[in-house]
Amino acid sequence: MAYRFLHTADVHLDSPLKTLALRNPELSELLGLATRRAFIRVVDLCLEEQVDALVLAGDLYDGDQTSMKTARFIAEQLRRLHEAGVRTFIIRGNHDALSKITTELVMPETVKVFGASAEAVVIDGAGHSPIAIHGLSFAKPHAPQSLLRHYALPVPDAVNIGIMHTSLGGSEKHDLYAPCSVADLQQSGFRYWALGHIHKRSVIEDPASVIVMPGMPQGRDINEDGPKSVSLVTIRDDRSIVVEERSTAVVQFERLAVDASGATDWKGMIGEVSSGLHKLRASVTAQHLVARVQITGCSDLAWRLRRDLDLVRTELETRGAHIGSLWIDKVQTVCLPPGSVNSRLGAAGELATIMEDEVTRSEGYQQELRAIAEELRAQLPAELREMFGSDEVSFEETLANIARDGSAEVLARLRREKVD
């Protein structure tokens, strides 16, 4: 008989909402429960597939949690697995190391939470090859050095599975944690590496090992867009490994770019965007879709689009409700008037040139913009401050985008043109 387990990571249970859609109470409630509902799906999948184990490769929690409601929820779900005879293997990641409830929660006896010293749990073959599961948790929120050297040597004659929370060689939008190379993992003698930390899925297979970063079971905002899933892993009798991706997200975030160049009037433009939303909704299997829409191209409607973007959003929200389970996170436009890139004729063009070349690049403007942004950021809850960027470079990029969008907004409102 094969040995089967479900591998997931980065659940971030009860993570504070980051999306701009917080102003919609109904959507806020949906997203607030999404990580829990996705985790219930993970447990349901374990039971449906009758797996032997659930492997959680770090960041089950989302930091400095104090609510025991989260702890009770976890205990209830792991109890379901316990009663079905499914074992659970957990390591703590960087977010778990911050959580106060990780040390307070009493787990069922079928749950193994690895500590700050590497351990190996050997499961004797009962119709399958012996399985050795190795794990090591973060003792502190930061792990600047590789943890690989702390893992024990592979158990002889067993299929060795390593659970590790690591950034590997580094990834965009992710801090460096317990870095190690793919080559090092491949040469470790472990047959399967169950990784966590990077929220984007990846699978690396070679004859010696299978290295899987499962991504996360549920995205939390538009920066975690795309399908979310877990890995169903089967170790066959011949010790070959099969990895299957299974969808788990209750809510899927997606970006939609629509070229409005072909639209000759307002109704036609709305129709083009609505058609794009219909196609996107049909391609997404998740129960709910949250879309960020960007209107592109060149059109005579460009200035009106910029001025009346709130009306576009309202119209698209209505269309989304009609389509079903489709929510609008934000509507943006980079649509330009025909010829505006090259000619910029007339007073509006002259004003645009002055704003771009003289005003927004001036030291005084930059200082004032930075001061306003820093004041606003300081007033936000800590979990929302990354909206202005996670470091100095992204903060400067955010300010540049604000300046550019602000200039376009001023021009749109000053523009005097007839609209349908």
Per-10-residue mean pLDDT of the chain, 420 residues long, equals 93 75 76 93 98 94 72 92 97 65 74 92 82 88 74 94 86 62 92 94 93 95 94 94 96 96 92 96 96 93 89 95 94 83 51 67 80 81 69 77 70 50
In this prediction, residue 398 carries a pLDDT of 81
The residue among 93, 101, 98 whose CA lies nearest residue 137 is 93
**Res 420: pLDDT:** 39
pLDDT of 316 reads 96
- What was the pLDDT predicted at 110? 95
**pLDDT for the residue 27:** 85
pLDDT computed for residue 124 by the predictor: 85
Measured between alpha carbons, how far is residue 9 from residues 50, 79, 128, 231 in Å? 20, 19, 25, 10
Q: Which fold has domain 3-247?
A: Purple Acid Phosphatase; chain A, domain 2 (3.60.21)
Q: What b-and-e string marks burial along 185-218, b requiring 16 or more CB atoms within 10 Å of the CB?
A: bbebebbbbbbbbbbebeeeeeeebbbbbbbbbb
Farthest CA pair distance, the chain: 82
Rounded Cα–Cα distance for residues 21 and 307 (Å): 21
pTM (2 d.p.)? 0.79
**Residue burial 223-247, b: 16+ Cβ < 10 Å; e: rest:** ebbbbbbbbbbebeeeeebeeeebb
Domain ranges of the chain: 3-247, 250-338, 342-419
Segments in 217-308 forming alpha helices (H) = 266-283, 302-307
